[in-house]
Amino acid sequence: MGVHAAARLTGNVRELVRQELASYSPSPPDELFHYTTPDGLLGIFQSTSLFLSDARFVNDRSEISFGRRVFTERLRHFVESGGHPKAAAVWEHFARNEQRRGGEPHRFHGHFYLTSFCKDGNLLSQWRAYGAGGGCSLGFRSAELISGAAIVGDDAVSSTGAPVWLQEVLYDEARQHAVIDRILSAVFPLLDVPTANISEPIYLANTLDFEVIPIVAACIKSPVFREEQEWRLVCGSSSRTGLQFRLQRGKISASGLHCQYGVQEDHDQSPPDGGSSVPSRSSDSSRDCGCPGRGRADN
């Protein structure tokens, strides 16, 4: 498969998966809340950006392992139920990749980056996680999290669609199985389309492994975390040019991307609903970031 054909395939498959996930997710609420530390809040204000962490290195790696395990179980069910004539051949290549991975789900992983939000701006479990020594709950208008986004230093974020998207985390097992089954039913027919450049089972196996599972795994979690009411801002990137690292508790933390929001030139405009604007890095302090939010602090 040529480089350009592979890029088109990747973009088409990512968009297909996003559409299927969106069909099982309601529209985002008007406002979503990001819990962070005082240092995190200061970083958002100073950079007028949000830091999207590499999905392979989230705080709890079992999240990604959980999503991969659920997807693999549904893929096995799809194969055993005869979901497609070439399903067994795809499974053979997929299982070989799993064996090579040696039980380390973060290896050979597609590049996806995310940051978390909550529907509830005053949730006790989140204050326990971020409130030690003072924490913040920063409210964002959901629509502007997408419309105003640009990934810093990355010129190859996505082949199709917006550079980022909002996705509700799925906790219910029945919904998780249903959306994965829908995705498999939509992707496997690409084997029968000559112009899809995916006629060989190994291509589909690798696409499922490196492109589909990372998206799905980033959007499903164990039902025990249902109380978190989590939404995620997700970015799929094939470029490493914008990668940055950050310090957490004195240690170098995971890599990630900065999702930058534009600067408004209207100095006299005030955010609606009493929201406070995030100041930009510019020396002209009267200029405002394009993602105004309102906040709550716990001291």
Show me where the domains of the chain are located.
Answer: 3-298
Q: Which are the contacts of 139, defined by CB distance < 8 A and separation ≥ 6?
A: 31, 32, 33, 121, 275, 293, 294, 295, 296
Of residues 294 and 273, which shows the higher confidence score? 294
Widest Cα–Cα separation across the chain: 63
Most confident of 5-14, 119-128, 198-207, 264-273: 119-128
Number of residues in the chain: 299
DSSP per position, 152-178: TT-S-S-SSS-S-EEEEPB--HHHHHH
Alpha-helical runs (H) found in 48-140: 62-80, 87-101, 124-130
Can you give the pLDDT at residue 33?
96
Whether the predicted pLDDT of 75 surpasses 90:
yes
Tokens (6 digits) for 167: 């996705």
What pTM, to 2 d.p., does this model score? Answer: 0.75
Q: What digits encode the pLDDT tens for the residues 103-145?
A: 565 554 556 788 999 999 999 988 888 777 778 899 999 988 8
Residue bearing the bigger pLDDT, 101 or 285: 101
Closest CA to 44 of 289, 298, 296: 289
Between these two residues, 78 and 51, which has the higher pLDDT value? Answer: 78
* pLDDT per residue as tens digits for the range 170-225: 999 999 999 999 999 998 988 777 655 556 788 888 888 888 888 888 889 999 99
The Cβ of residue 288 has, within 10 Å, a number of other Cβ atoms equal to 24
pLDDT at residue 227 is higher than 70: yes
